[in-house]
Each structure stands twice: as structure tokens, then as C-alpha cells.
Amino acid sequence: MTTPKKGHDPVCGMEVDPKEAAGKSTFQNVTYYFCSQRCKEDFDADPVKYLLKK
Ligand SMILES: [Zn+2]
């Protein structure tokens, strides 16, 4: 399991401190952190969409 020091919100692109993240999700053994519950919900609805974006 990968636990980065600094999280990166894949939905909005913000850097998120894991300690202050509003939410987190694990997808394919990688943990993602989110600035808000809203971003987490968007990610959970369709993780692949956000991971392929970039
Ligand atoms: Zn966000």
C-alpha cells in the first residue's frame, strides 16, 4: 500500500495534506486524498475518469 507524504486531489488538482484531508479513497492500492467530501464523492463515482485525465 502506498502512502504518500503529500496527497494530491485527483479531482480538482489541489495538493492535500493527508492529515487535513476531508476524505480519502483507495483505488488499485493507491490512496488518494481529497480537499472536500464533494471531490471524494466525484472520484468514487468514477475513479478512472479522474486518473486518466491529467
Ligand atoms: Zn478537491
What are phi and psi for residue 41, nearest 5 degrees?
-65, -40
Give residue 4's pLDDT.
Answer: 52
**Using one digit for the tens of pLDDT, what is the confidence trace for 23-45?**
999 999 999 999 999 999 999 99
- Kindly list the domain boundaries of the chain, sorted by start residue: 7-53
Q: What is the pLDDT of residue 8?
A: 87
Could you tell me the distance, in angstroms and rounded to a whole number, from the CA of residue 3 to the centre of ligand 1?
18
Q: Report how far ligand 1's centroid is from the alpha carbon of 47 (Å).
A: 13
**pLDDT confidence band for 7 (50 / 70 / 90):** confident
DSSP 1-53: -B--SSEE-TTT--EE-GGG-SEEEEETTEEEEESSHHHHHHHHH-HHHHHHH
- Does this model's pTM top 0.85? no
Q: How far is the CA of 42 from the centre of ligand 1 (A)?
A: 9
